[in-house]
Structure 1
């Protein structure tokens, strides 16, 4: 043993065979690290600008996603291009044929693309189980998004929204003017959306406990921030953010575990989504995965949209007046006694009235989504064969990812004055969102509609009707001074997903006089 160790520590005494083995191993490792599969001849041309060895197109992941896509598309003669993220082959598509392929093709898979490009999860081992949890998630979510569930929860949803408005009304006066109070809509409205979402797809034990509500929202926010680009390139790499996600996922699991165990111990079942999942036989692991998935699907976008909608209203007096007139008209129509306050009347509305009597709020939300859906979205070709990109002669190779720039749809040339927030573009006589196929993707399109659309519309109608109906509000600074924004309020288009503004925005508000 001693002689062997001595020889091992003296490379000059190593045999030729040992050296050949070491060099071969090193070369093999380097090859595995640096090698990328060659692009098929009929794949779109490789856009090499900004490509880093091993890592690929870092700009796509860090800071310039939309700009990177637009620059690559301008450089392409066909409107399509290829690039790499690590060894992963991505194909950017655009134009009529690109939109048709992306939204209509049955050969393109979204769940696996999400898993590999956002969370760095490895590819499913077989076609049979590639959509395993996705199917479980969808089958559980669809019943919760039905009208019957909204009807069951309506009193609680209106009660939550009204209570949140009462809390805003009771806030301390602003420093600048005691007649006004101040809120950051990307905190206050974000929290209301979270409570309504938890009420609908989570647990009443959380929705009705302010401390637990803030605690779980904090867990979700940290979980959402803990993504890992390194994990996307090297799925086997044990990154810090990967373990942070596991940690925050475990913290959320402990919350739901305690609720489940308490219900089992007392024998008292809940009348909520959590009980629905328990009764379906989902494991704790799948329940937590469902909750995280449901929050990702609804909280981020709706939470941000809720804040921006009110901000955009402050900069558009015409639409502020229209929405106020709509809300006041509904209140006047359903008021049965002079003693009823605005909030009292809103609390009596039926689910049919919430869904059918606020069309202008719906259009304002539609336009807000157009501005608040940034970046690019993706699919993966898992069909087992190359998929043609229209009549371009190019294909998406089997195993490659398809990337579609959101602006190619949401800011297409069919939108007049497209950088202006203008809900009237959706009026029947204008119908700018229907001028070409997939002209608007805010609620999904083609084979991938948004399962939570009805709930998102309902919660936005609730929040906006109560807010517009009860308060006057203006854009302000944190002290309550009315100000005119000194720069664009439009969300950074290079973001990967909807995000709170980098700089805080504030609204000053006061109760309306009856």
Structure 2
């Protein structure tokens, strides 16, 4: 008769406990030698007692263990053992300066061995190409490069919007569940690739595996990773599945026809092999979710507890949206219109509040390892030996009464003064410091603190991901805000005159213009209840939303100028764009929606839609074609199809009509409408609204001669 599953597990547990007891006795004997070790002024204080007890406290009560030991010993640094490893704990200004200023220490080595539950490829017998921490940090900087953040911001805000729609407009949210899910989704989008980020079921499975991996990372498993048992098997299985999932998408991107700026592609372009690519990507996801998730959740809680600050931040965010956003747009679209420099420079209240939140939440222990020769700590004469681990508790600075008055009181106003006048070396460590510094970036920062009475959430209506790190700026702050460097969209937001269009293909533009029959604007009218021309809404814009699609603007000053090209009675022609901020492609046309399942429109339940956007010339009656267009340009190229020869003009009313041709050659219903200020076309606007819940208005486009 075979033993039962529970009997086997009991035997495994008993055997593991016996082995642990033997180790405890053996390590206890070693501790006697430790306590008898000679001491001198150049020797770091060695902690006595059982090393296993120190190791246990280090993994279970790390903050209390370090702070209490510093108090009991009266030392600024001490040494202790974690099994076969030597760890040096540092405190004070000299310790902080050394930890964050010394270049010959590896952050990745520190966290890989002693950091905790991060998925480790070595757990499943996989070796990575490099153990250096510098390439990993460099990759993080690359992910958060300014131009990449600008391109990713609309997608991150779209993730936020969809999450808020799923949560609904009333009720309660659990920040540590709902916000964690959102932060995880956005971190996956930043770190992996579009294909994975848009597979909700796969993203959910990744989250489950991360949670399972963390749950099985007990102090026993960290101290004795080789001990067999159910937790070890579960942890290894979770790690293996995480690697398998990422491996599929790494392979997908490696075999892609066109490269992209997705995180996985960036690692490939840097020359890393697939294993290192997967390992780095998992590291970014884990670090992003752990740090960002905690900060986001507690930021919401503190906002709920401090209505005075919530009101100030709400007003600050509303000022930002009123300056850069279109009030007709949904909130996430308004946020997407905010330029990067405004996120960085125009929300001081929010940044101050976030810093005080991070001062409390980021009190954990940072780890590095000496991967070189002996290093002397300045002002002490004490040495860090090769292969020593170095630990520094961020709470040593964040709760230091000599740096922060009344350090355990939550007071964001303290940073209004301290930002300008720091009292110590590296007083705030929320964004790193020294050689580990990441400059703060408020991109996709916290909150749409809308004051709408219909919303009953206690804290925020919408919360973007708080990426506490950013790439070092490629230009100085003054250069980034120099008017000559602004896009036309940013110039319009600042009420500056438009830059003249630049032509990458002057021959093509000249040829198109030579055929133009008339120039003018496109006025946008609402359709009234009777289906007739109603209220004028404005004009088609010369500036594009996120560089992709055209919108409605109030007056002609910011309106698009087009020239009619070809066409005639019963025959479609083209409209050439003359002052668009997307100067090439040259034609105003229709481009397939990013969420479309095909290029086919219909009046049924099909929710496919089209953008009003710029495109290259397409063949008349040729159906959807894969040519260059502004939507592909803006979002990294996904093969979205477009058509340019779609326009007919009513000779008596100047009403412009667009006609999309389906891939099978059928003429699709092509109905124009606006959602917010963005212009779309669909075969069934009502189906579109059900899929993307926000008010829409049917419109008519009218050509107005210039």
TM-score relative to the length of structure 1: 0.73
Establish whether residue 320 from structure 1 lines up as the match of residue 310 from structure 2: yes
Which of 289, 296, 313 pairs up with 2:286? 296
Q: After TM superposition, give the deviation of residue 135 of structure 1 in Å.
A: 4.3
Establish whether residue 400 from structure 1 lines up as the match of residue 379 from structure 2: no
Per the alignment, residue 90 of structure 1 pairs with 87
Take 1:135 and 1:232, find their aligned partners in 2: how far apart are those partners? 25
Q: After TM superposition, give the deviation of residue 325 of structure 1 in Å.
A: 0.8
Alignment of 1:387-426 (within 5 A): 387-388=376-377, 390-413=378-401, 414-426=403-415
Secondary structure, aligned partner of 1:35: helix
Take 1:122 and 1:147, find their aligned partners in 2: how far apart are those partners? 31
Alignment of 1:221-260 (within 5 A): 221-227=211-217, 229-230=219-220, 232-234=222-224, 241-260=231-250
Take 2:425 and 2:342, find their aligned partners in 1: how far apart are those partners? 31
Which of 183, 189, 200 pairs up with 2:173? 183
User: CA, structure 1 residues 320+46, in 2 after alignment: closer, same or farther (shift >3 Å)?
Assistant: same
Secondary structure, aligned partner of 2:67: helix
Alignment of 1:53-72 (within 5 A): 56-62=54-60, 64-72=61-69
Take 2:298 and 2:267, find their aligned partners in 1: how far apart are those partners? 33
Q: After TM superposition, give the deviation of residue 442 of structure 1 in Å.
A: 0.8
Alignment of 1:260-339 (within 5 A): 260-262=250-252, 267=257, 272-336=262-326, 339=328
Secondary structure, aligned partner of 1:377: strand
Which of 106, 110, 121 pairs up with 1:109? 106
Take 1:406 and 1:264, find their aligned partners in 2: how far apart are those partners? 39
* Deviation by residue 1:29-52 (Cα, 9 ceiling, x = unmatched): x9799536755633233333xx43
User: CA, structure 1 residues 394+256, in 2 after alignment: closer, same or farther (shift >3 Å)?
Assistant: closer
Q: Is the 8 A contact 1:409 1:440 kept in 2?
A: yes
Per the alignment, residue 47 of structure 1 pairs with 47
Take 1:386 and 1:345, find their aligned partners in 2: how far apart are those partners? 52
Which of 440, 452, 458 pairs up with 2:443? 458
Per the alignment, residue 163 of structure 2 pairs with 164
RMSD between superposed Cα atoms in Å? 3.5
Take 1:433 and 1:378, find their aligned partners in 2: how far apart are those partners? 28
Higher relative contact order (CA 8 A, sep 6+): 1
User: CA, structure 1 residues 40+138, in 2 after alignment: closer, same or farther (shift >3 Å)?
Assistant: farther
Q: Is the 8 A contact 2:46 2:78 kept in 1?
A: yes
Q: Is the 8 A contact 2:27 2:51 kept in 1?
A: no
Take 2:121 and 2:419, find their aligned partners in 1: how far apart are those partners? 42
Secondary structure, aligned partner of 2:334: helix
Take 1:119 and 1:331, find their aligned partners in 2: how far apart are those partners? 41
Per the alignment, residue 473 of structure 1 pairs with 457
Query: Higher helix fraction: Structure 1 or Structure 2?
Result: 1
CA radius of gyration, larger in: 2
Take 2:259 and 2:226, find their aligned partners in 1: how far apart are those partners? 41
Segments of 5+ residues of structure 1 without an aligned counterpart are 1-26, 124-128, 171-179, 477-514
Establish whether residue 357 from structure 1 lines up as the match of residue 352 from structure 2: no
Segments of 5+ residues of structure 2 without an aligned counterpart are 1-21, 123-127, 461-706
Q: Is the 8 A contact 1:161 1:466 kept in 2?
A: no
Which of 364, 389, 401 pairs up with 1:375? 364
Q: After TM superposition, give the deviation of residue 73 of structure 1 in Å.
A: 0.9
Q: Is the 8 A contact 2:109 2:133 kept in 1?
A: no
User: CA, structure 1 residues 274+418, in 2 after alignment: closer, same or farther (shift >3 Å)?
Assistant: same
Take 2:255 and 2:75, find their aligned partners in 1: how far apart are those partners? 64
Q: After TM superposition, give the deviation of residue 53 of structure 1 in Å.
A: 5.7
Q: After TM superposition, give the deviation of residue 248 of structure 1 in Å.
A: 1.8
Query: Higher strand fraction: Structure 1 or Structure 2?
Result: 2
Establish whether residue 81 from structure 1 lines up as the match of residue 63 from structure 2: no
Per the alignment, residue 540 of structure 2 pairs with none
Establish whether residue 35 from structure 1 lines up as the match of residue 30 from structure 2: yes
Q: Is the 8 A contact 1:115 1:122 kept in 2?
A: no
Take 2:185 and 2:136, find their aligned partners in 1: how far apart are those partners? 21
Q: Is the 8 A contact 1:326 1:360 kept in 2?
A: yes
Q: After TM superposition, give the deviation of residue 112 of structure 1 in Å.
A: 1.7
* Deviation by residue 1:62-95 (Cα, 9 ceiling, x = unmatched): 2x22222122111223322222222322222222
Take 1:40 and 1:382, find their aligned partners in 2: how far apart are those partners? 26
Which one is further off, 145-154 or 39-48?
39-48
Take 1:40 and 1:302, find their aligned partners in 2: how far apart are those partners? 45
Establish whether residue 148 from structure 1 lines up as the match of residue 147 from structure 2: yes
Secondary structure, aligned partner of 2:458: strand
State the aligned residue count: 424
Q: Is the 8 A contact 2:46 2:79 kept in 1?
A: yes
Q: After TM superposition, give the deviation of residue 418 of structure 1 in Å.
A: 1.6
TM-score relative to the length of structure 2: 0.54
User: CA, structure 1 residues 188+84, in 2 after alignment: closer, same or farther (shift >3 Å)?
Assistant: same
Q: After TM superposition, give the deviation of residue 415 of structure 1 in Å.
A: 0.9
Take 2:300 and 2:121, find their aligned partners in 1: how far apart are those partners? 41
Q: Is the 8 A contact 1:367 1:422 kept in 2?
A: yes
User: CA, structure 1 residues 219+45, in 2 after alignment: closer, same or farther (shift >3 Å)?
Assistant: same
Take 1:83 and 1:214, find their aligned partners in 2: how far apart are those partners? 40
Q: Is the 8 A contact 2:325 2:338 kept in 1?
A: no
* Deviation by residue 1:200-232 (Cα, 9 ceiling, x = unmatched): 111212222222221111122222334354465
Take 1:47 and 1:365, find their aligned partners in 2: how far apart are those partners? 37
User: CA, structure 1 residues 130+383, in 2 after alignment: closer, same or farther (shift >3 Å)?
Assistant: farther
